[in-house]
Amino acid sequence: MRRLLVLAALGVTGILSAAPAAGAGAVGPPGGTIYAFDQAYQVVATPTSLPDRGPFDTIYNFPDCPSCASVSEAAPGRPGYNGGRWRVVEASGITTQLTNADAVLAAATSLTDTGTRFVCPLIRG
């Protein structure tokens, strides 16, 4: 019985010590998906913050749908795209994934500018 407890303790210790090593092997910044014009784009999160000056495109986040990806009003190759300079707007009342800004504007019960500005390129997925 004592040998079984020692083996169990060693197994748990091995799992806990392996978890940080697995995370440490990940290379590169975090990423995700943003939708624009019904197209999925990949993003690379960069630690940037910009002052509220110059042109920005709007990216919508959904506080009522934590599993939903953000939606952009602009994309590469579209007129007016500002190269990944974003202002973040929370679109409340949306509980399912939308994939274009027109649908967001039609479905949102309120829009709130968060004051967040950042740079993040969209990469066609």
Residue 98 CA to chain centroid, in angstroms?
Answer: 14
Instruction: Give CA–CA dist 116/104, Å, rounded.
Output: 19
Q: Which has more pLDDT, 47 or 39?
A: 39
Question: Helix and strand tally (H, E) in the chain?
Answer: 2, 7
The β-bridge partners of 92 are: 110
Per-residue pLDDT tens digits for 53-111? 889 999 999 999 999 999 999 999 999 899 889 999 999 999 999 999 999 999 999 99
Mind spelling out the 3-state secondary structure of 73-92? Answer: CCCCCCCCCCCCEEEEEEEE
Question: Is the pTM for the entire model greater than 0.85?
Answer: no
Domain boundaries, given as residue ranges, for the chain: 28-124
For the chain, give percent helix, strand, coil, nearest 5.
25, 35, 45
